[in-house]
Structure 1
Amino acid sequence: MGMVAGGAGTARHGGGLCTFAYAGHVNWLVGIPLAIGGVVSVSSGLALAHHLPERRLYVSAWL
């Protein structure tokens, strides 16, 4: 849901989250914590990636 919410209002995604929410197909009790967790983990992951050597990042991408 975190990835969907970011582009929910754009024409390219067709308002995906809005469409599913309007139809009653969004479980907000699960979706909101997942979206919050996604935001927290992305910023932490980026901070970690900036501290790792480039070679290590390249090798770990293929595992």
Structure 2
Amino acid sequence: MTDQAEQAGFDRQGEVLRLRGAYTTQSVGPVWQGLLRAARGATRLDLSGVTALDTTGA
């Protein structure tokens, strides 16, 4: 299990979708559906806050 700081999360500001935390098999499940909805219409993706990425997040 990931700690609070490593959990996947995101926020949307205008056309920018910002991801933060770990996007791994263990962490992405709880945010996946919300992330898909938030991604609609986004023209920029900010990954600067991503701390880990595996094939689930890729």
The structure where strand makes up a greater share of residues is 2
Which of structures 1 and 2 has the bigger CA Rg? 1
- TM-score, L = length of structure 1: 0.29
The structure where helix makes up a greater share of residues is 1
- TM-score, L = length of structure 2: 0.30
The structure whose RCO (Cα within 8 Å, separation 6+) is larger is 2
